[in-house]
Structure formats: C-alpha cells, structure tokens
C-alpha cells in the first residue's frame, strides 16, 4: 500500500506539474529555481484537485471499475502528449525567452543564514508532522468524523457510495464538499486498502506545497531572501504545521486561495500576453470551492476583490479576462451545485427562513460582537498558536519600511482586500451562528486563520522593503 | 533581526511543540474499536446498522458522547449507526462499568461481549 501510495502521488505531481508548465511558461528574466518551485507547488495542487474532481464525476455518472481506469489513463496520456508537444514547440522552456541571464542568487551572509534557517525549519516541521502522524494516525476530530469517514463509506460500499449520505446514520455534516473524501477514496481504491498513510501524505504534501509556492512566488516577484523569510514565518506557525498531520482540510483551502492569487500575478507580470495563467487561476478558484464550505466565502471574496481592484480601479484586467477566469472555474461550480442539490441537500441553518427570528435577535446582541472582536484580536496575537512571528513582522516593517513596486500594487491590494473580506465574513458568520458562540469560536477560529495565513504573508512580504541585510 | 527570526522559529517549533508531540502516544480509540469489534460484521452484516448506548451522559457530557459515537462510526464503517429506536442490534460501550447482560432498552439480549466494556445486544424492533 505504501508503494502504491507513493507511485500514485508521484504520478499526480508529475501530471499536475506538466499542466502547470504548460500554463506557466518561463519568460523574460525568470529565475529557474523559483519558477520550478512554483510549478511543483502548483503541480501538487492541480494533480490532487483535478483527480478529486474526476473521481466525483465518475462516481456521479457511474463510470466504474475498468472504465474509470481507462478514462484516467487516457486523460494522463493526453496531458503527457500535449506536454511533449508543448516542450517540442517551446525550446526555450527552460531558458528565459529574452536570453538575459537569470539573476544569480546572492551569497551574502544574510542569504546563507536564511537558507540555513529555512532548511532547518523545513526539516524540523516535516519531522514534526511525520511524528504527529505516527502518534495520531487517524488525525483529529474532523478527519474521522467526516472527511475520512466519507472516504471509508465510498471505499467499502463502492459502487453503492451514496450510503455515505444516509441522513439517519451518525454521519454528520453531510453537505461538506468532497475534495478530500474523493481524493482519499480514489487512492485507497487504487491501493486496495484504507491505509492511514494516504490522508497523512495528502496533509504533508499540501503543507510542503504551500511553503514551496510561497517561497517561490516571493522569490520571483520580490527577492530570494523575502521568500525565505516568509517561508520561515509560515513554518514557525504551530497550527499550520500540525494541521496537515491532523488530516484536516484547512491547509488545502489556504493553498488554493494563495495559488489563485499567485496565478493572477503571473498574468499581470507577463504583461497579459497570454491568458494561460488566468485559466490556471480559474482552475484553482474552482478547486478552492470544492474543498470546504468556508471556501465559498474565500472564493467569493477573491472574485469580488479581483473585480474591484483589477477590473474597476486599476483596469489591468478586462471584463473578458475576468470572464475567462470565471468560466474556467465553472465546471467545479457545476459539480458543487450538483453535490449540494442532488447528493446532500440540507437545510442551511445560517440562511434558512425558519431561522430568521433567531438570526435577527443575534444580530442585535452587541455583546456577541464584543466577544467575537476580542477573540479575533487575541487569536491574531496569541503566541502559542501563531508563534512569535507577528511581533517579528511588526519589527520587520518598522526596520525595513515599505517598498511597493508599481506593477505589484494591484496584487497586494487584491490580496489584502480578499483577506479582509474573508475575516469580515467569518466575523458575521460567528454573529449569526446557530451553535453556542464560545464553543464555535473555540473549535474553529484558529483554523480559520490558517486559511488566510499564506495569502497574508504573501501580501505582507510584497509590501515591505527587501531584506538584504539583517 | 536574523537572530529574532531564528528565535521565532526555534521557540515555536522546538520549545513549544516538540516535547508535546514527542511525549506519550495518544490513546488510539479507533484502532481499539476496530480490533475488538472485528466480529461485528458477522453479526449485523457488512452493510448492517446498529444503535449505540453508552454510560456517557449525552446531555451532561455532550462532547465526549459525540466524540465516542463518531470514533465508533469511523471504526465500524460501512456499518452505520442509526437512532436507537430503529435498530435491531445495539452496541454498548461502558467506560465506567463492565457491560451488563442487558442494556437500558427493554427486551434486549446480549449477543456478544467483545471485552469488558464493549458488547452487542439484539432486540425486537417493529
């Protein structure tokens, strides 16, 4: 099973990376190292996301057994052949197009020290995650109460997978999207066993992919040191490192959110000569809404911010470009709608008319706002969950100041606006929550901050001055 | 600043987290259920259903009750846990005492006692 899992994950990353190479071609003065870091990060997310989507699709249309395998094989072959064709017709793929030599990474003391700290942090974080997975093989509450539980039902009752949505059973939160269950189920099905290694590896993979993507994106857009410092900050957050080993779905959500923003950045810095990065951004946006219910707020925030900043204010993206982005995410939206309407139609306790009297009375309770505000502020500065990096960021911005490059302004503004809208949305959800407020805050707030953490770090390190000396 | 960044990292990961993670193995209830309830499918069928009773009070110890039922559901999947009044078979988990011959439900009989705290009962259902 371990061997099968490694083979499957390897193929997933390879195929995803091929797609990302096709959609993010090397241009101008791109350094190859950060470009490939980004491609590998994207590759992991694309492979996992598209496979989960395909698995749900084949379950829905009852394309079972050997037929499904043939479809997967055919799609893989098409991607591979198109990749070869793409490489053959783009001989400059691994070089910069203009022939300028990529900037050589600095070998100053600061860079060497940062690389050392980053590598050390990376190894320690990965080791901790593996240790946590060994000690807690089934993950935390959400993992065994719905994500992996749903995958178990698919696996054991396949092809009668709809039994997982029996409303009489102890299965809870039936309307949660199936990104993780479909992915875990398909790999279990390939390997022929429901091994705990699979969800643990998915968690580890998304942790690594998020760090690699953040480092690569900042390295490419700002500087290598900037990327390394952001990576160290991310690896310093206990909740982020352990969340993957707990087999929860928050790190994938954070990954797809930041991926979508980074892809739009590629579209802008490429001077909009190709729509490919925008297509990639749309795919990530689509996969994002397939991860969790919370992600629908995140994706809506991103689309609205993109519309306001890129389309209306800076006018760097046309309506047509935005249409391309949205239409690419449309297949995922259709799939989510099908799931919500046909597979797990449930009354939503937040918006259903039956709950309006309760919601309206909660909206008028000023004390709720105060409690939530206090918790939000505490969470933001709580050291034991966020590490000591918040004071570090404050000191950093004081020492280095702000240095915003003109072409990065829209990206920074969109990122911050998206984060603010997500935070405001969560705040409002807590105000109207049907659950006991303190319990709801206790059990979910820390994880909600994980969703915005990589995007926040990405925007922050694009905003502040470059770190050349410490 | 570099030193502070280093401290940031080391403090969080090593000082705070490492000893906690590396301490004792977490008590793995799911594997325990799986190990002890291996014969359950022979009794209720692979896609059967069961009810669930426990000496944990669902009102006073709500979190523990739900945690236990969720872990049990994951451990015995694809057998489904359904409401007690509709189930012919009932799994009893008794953390504070040994499993009794019959549970609080009328006319239930002990089918199999997996260990001192885990048992399956059967009863007539209309």
Length of chain A: 470
Predicted pLDDT at A334: 93
**More confident position, A91 or A64:** A64
Indicate the length of chain B as a whole number. 126
Edge to edge, the sheet with strand B89-93 lists B80-81, B49-54, B89-93, B118-122, B109-115
Contact (CB<8Å) A387/B17: no
Chain A positions touching B82 (Cβ under 8 A) are 166, 168-170
Q: Is the pLDDT of residue B81 over 70?
A: yes
Q: Is the pLDDT of residue A349 over 80?
A: no
What is residue A7's three-state secondary structure? helix
pLDDT value of residue A97? 37
pLDDT for A327: 94
In this structure, of A106-110, A248-252, A431-435, A447-451, the range with the lowest mean pLDDT score is: A106-110
String of DSSP letters for A70-93: HHHHHHHHHHHHHHHHHHHH-TTT
CA angle, corner B78, sides to B72 and B82, nearest 5?
60
The pLDDT tens digits of the residues spanning A127-178 come to 888 888 888 889 888 898 889 999 999 999 888 888 888 887 777 788 899 9
| Number of separate helices (H) and strands (E) present in chain A | 20, 0
* pLDDT above 60 for A386: no
Q: Which letter does DSSP use for residue B98 in this model?
A: P
Contacts of B94 (CB under 8 A, 6+ apart): B54, B55, B100, B116, B117, B118, B119
The DSSP secondary-structure symbol of A264 reads: H
- Residue B57 included in any domain: yes
- Percentage of chain A beyond pLDDT 70 is 90
Domain assignment present for B2: no
Q: Answer with the residue of higher pLDDT: A22 or A355.
A: A22
pLDDT tens-digit series, residues A306-332: 999 888 887 888 888 889 999 999 999
Question: Hey, is the C-beta of A436 within 8 angstroms of any chain B C-beta?
Answer: no
Q: Using CA of residue B30, residue B31, residue B35, residue B40, what is the dihedral sign?
A: positive
CA distance linking residue A429 with residue A368, whole number of Å: 11
Chain A CB within 8 Å of residue B73 CB: yes
B positions 83-112 inside 8 Å of A (CB)? 83, 86
- H or E element at residue A261: helix A250-269
Q: B49 to chain A: nearest residue by CA?
A: A169
pLDDT at A103 over 90: no
- Using a CB-CB cut-off of 8 Å, the residues of chain A touching B2 are 110, 113-114, 117, 470
Distance CA A23, CA B106 (A): 66
Whether the per-residue pLDDT at B20 is higher than 60: the answer is no
pLDDT at position A98: 38
Model confidence at A3: pLDDT above 90: no
Distance CA B111, CA A436 (A): 40
Q: What is the pLDDT of residue A99?
A: 41
Q: Interior CA angle at A3 toward A241 and A252, to 5°?
A: 30
Look over chain A and give the mean of its residue pLDDT values, rounded to a whole number: 85
Alpha carbon separation from A135 to A92, A126, A185, B26 (Å, rounded): 47, 14, 23, 6
Spacing of C-alpha A186 from chain mean position: 20
Helix, strand, or coil here: A295? helix
Torsion sign, CA atoms A164, A167, A171, A176: positive
Average of per-residue pLDDT across A418-437: 91
Cα(A165)–Cα(A171) distance, rounded to whole angstroms? 7
Is B30 within 8 Å of A144 when comparing Cβ atoms? yes
- DSSP per-residue letters across A182-247: HHHHHHHHHHTS--THHHHHHHHHHHHHHHHHHHHHHHHHT-HHHHHHHHHHHHT-HHHHHHHHTT
How many CA atoms, within 13 angstroms, populate the side-chain half-sphere of residue B50? 28
At B80 the three-state DSSP class reads strand
Q: Does B70 touch chain A (CB under 8 A)?
A: yes
Q: Is B51 left (phi over 0), alpha (psi -120 to 50) or beta?
A: beta
ipTM of the complex, rounded to two decimals: 0.85
Give the residue carrying structure tokens 């189930």: B87
Using the Cβ of A86 and the Cβ atoms of chain B, whether some distance falls under 8 Å is answered with no
Tracing tokens 């090397």 back to the chain, one arrives at A26
User: What integer is the mean pLDDT of B75-94?
Assistant: 88
Range of the domain at B66: 26-122
Higher-scoring residue by pLDDT: A271, B91: B91
Given a contact cutoff of 8 angstroms between Cβ atoms, the answer to whether A211 and A235 are in contact is yes
Rounded to the nearest 5 degrees, what angle is found at the Cα of A89, between the Cα atoms of A86 and A93? 70
Task: Reduce the DSSP state of residue A102 to 3 states and report it.
Answer: coil
Indicate the SS3 state at residue B90: strand
CA distance B75 to chain A (A): 9
What's the CA gap between B90 and B72, in Å, rounded? Answer: 12
Q: Residue B71 is encoded by which pair of tokens?
A: 């872990």
pLDDT of residue A149: 92
> Tokens 């249309």 belong to which residue?
A61
Does a structural domain hold residue B5?
no
pLDDT at position B13 over 70: no
A145 to chain B nearest CA, in Å? 5
Task: List, for residues A356-385, the tens digit of each pLDDT value.
Answer: 788 888 888 889 999 999 988 888 776 555
Number of domains in chain B: 1
Which of A111-125, A180-194, B71-85, B106-120 is least confident? B106-120
Query: How far is the C-alpha of A72 from the C-alpha of A12, rounded, in Å?
Result: 11
Radius of gyration of chain A (CA): 22
CA distance A150 to A144: 9
Q: What is the pLDDT of residue B9?
A: 59
Asked if the C-beta of B25 comes within 8 angstroms of chain A's C-beta atoms, the answer is yes
- Smallest CA–CA distance, residue A151 to chain B, in Å, is 10
Q: By three-state DSSP, how is residue A464 classified?
A: strand
B96 occurs within a structural domain: yes
Domain membership flag for residue B13: no
Dihedral sign of CA atoms A40, A41, A44, A46 in order: negative
Does the CB of B62 have a partner CB in chain A at under 8 Å?
no
Contact (CB, 8 A) for B21 and A125: no
C-alpha–C-alpha distance, residues B23 and B30, integer Å: 20
Residues A221-262: pLDDT tens digits?
A: 999 999 999 998 888 887 888 888 888 999 999 999 999 999
Q: Which of B72, B11, B1, B84 is nearest to B37 (CA)?
A: B72
């Amino acid at each position: 099973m371990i061997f099968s899992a490694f083979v499957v994950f390897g193929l997933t990353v390879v195929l995803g990376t091929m797609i990302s190479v096709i959609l993010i071609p090397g241009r101008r003065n791109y350094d190859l190292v950060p470009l490939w870091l980004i491609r590998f990060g994207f590759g992991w997310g694309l492979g996992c996301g598209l496979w989960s989507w395909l698995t749900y699709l084949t379950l829905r249309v009852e394309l079972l057994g050997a037929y499904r395998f043939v479809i997967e094989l055919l799609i893989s072959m098409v991607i591979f052949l198109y990749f070869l064709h793409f490489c053959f017709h783009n001989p400059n793929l691994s070089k910069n197009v203009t022939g300028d030599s990529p900037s050589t990474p600095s070998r100053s003391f600061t860079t060497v020290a940062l690389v050392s700290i980053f590598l050390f942090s990376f190894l320690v974080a990965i080791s901790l995650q593996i240790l946590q997975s060994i000690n807690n093989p089934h993950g935390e509450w959400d993992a065994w109460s719905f994500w992996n539980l749903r995958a178990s039902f698919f696996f054991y009752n396949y092809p009668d997978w709809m039994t997982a949505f029996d409303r009489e059973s102890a299965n809870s939160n039936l309307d949660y999207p199936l990104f993780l269950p479909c992915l875990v189920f398909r790999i279990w099905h390939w390997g022929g066993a429901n091994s705990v290694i699979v969800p643990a590896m998915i968690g580890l993979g998304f942790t690594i992919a998020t760090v690699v993507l953040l480092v690569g994106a900042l390295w490419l857009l700002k500087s290598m040191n900037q990327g390394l410092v952001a990576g160290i900050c991310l690896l310093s957050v206990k909740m982020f490192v352990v969340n993957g080993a707990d087999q929860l779905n928050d790190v994938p959500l954070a990954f797809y959110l930041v991926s979508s923003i980074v892809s739009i950045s590629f579209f802008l810095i490429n001077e909009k000569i190709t729509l490919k990065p925008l297509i990639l951004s749309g795919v990530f946006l689509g996969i994002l809404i397939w991860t969790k219910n919370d992600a629908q707020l995140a994706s809506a925030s991103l689309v609205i911010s993109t519309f306001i900043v890129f389309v209306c204010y800076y006018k760097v993206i046309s309506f047509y470009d935005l249409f391309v982005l949205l239409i690419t995410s449309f297949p995922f939206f259709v799939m989510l709608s099908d799931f919500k309407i046909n597979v797990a139609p449930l009354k939503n306790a937040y918006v259903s008319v039956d709950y309006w009297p309760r919601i309206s009375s909660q909206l008028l309770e000023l004390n709720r706002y105060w409690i939530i505000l206090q918790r939000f502020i505490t969470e933001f500065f709580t050291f034991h969950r966020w590490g000591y990096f918040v004071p570090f960021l404050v000191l950093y911005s004081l020492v280095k100041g702000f240095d915003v490059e003109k072409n990065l302004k829209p990206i920074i503004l969109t990122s911050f606006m998206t984060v603010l809208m997500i935070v405001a949305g969560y705040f409002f959800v807590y105000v109207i929550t049907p659950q006991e407020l303190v319990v709801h805050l206790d059990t979910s707030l820390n994880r909600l901050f994980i969703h915005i953490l990589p995007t926040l770090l990405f925007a922050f390190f694009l905003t502040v001055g470059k770190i050349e000396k410490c | 600043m570099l030193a502070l960044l280093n401290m940031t990292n080391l403090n969080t990961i090593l000082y705070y987290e490492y000893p906690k993670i590396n301490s004792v193995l977490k008590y793995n209830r799911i594997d325990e259920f799986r190990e002890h309830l291996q014969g359950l499918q022979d009794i209720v069928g692979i896609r059967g259903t069961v009810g669930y009773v426990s000496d944990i009070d669902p009102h006073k110890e709500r979190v523990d009750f739900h945690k236990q039922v969720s872990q049990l559901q994951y451990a015995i999947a694809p057998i489904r846990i359904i409401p007690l009044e509709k189930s012919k078979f009932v799994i009893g988990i008794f953390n504070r005492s040994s499993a009794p011959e019959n549970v609080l439900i009328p006319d239930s009989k002990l089918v199999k006692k997996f260990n001192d705290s885990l048992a399956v009962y059967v009863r007539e259902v209309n």
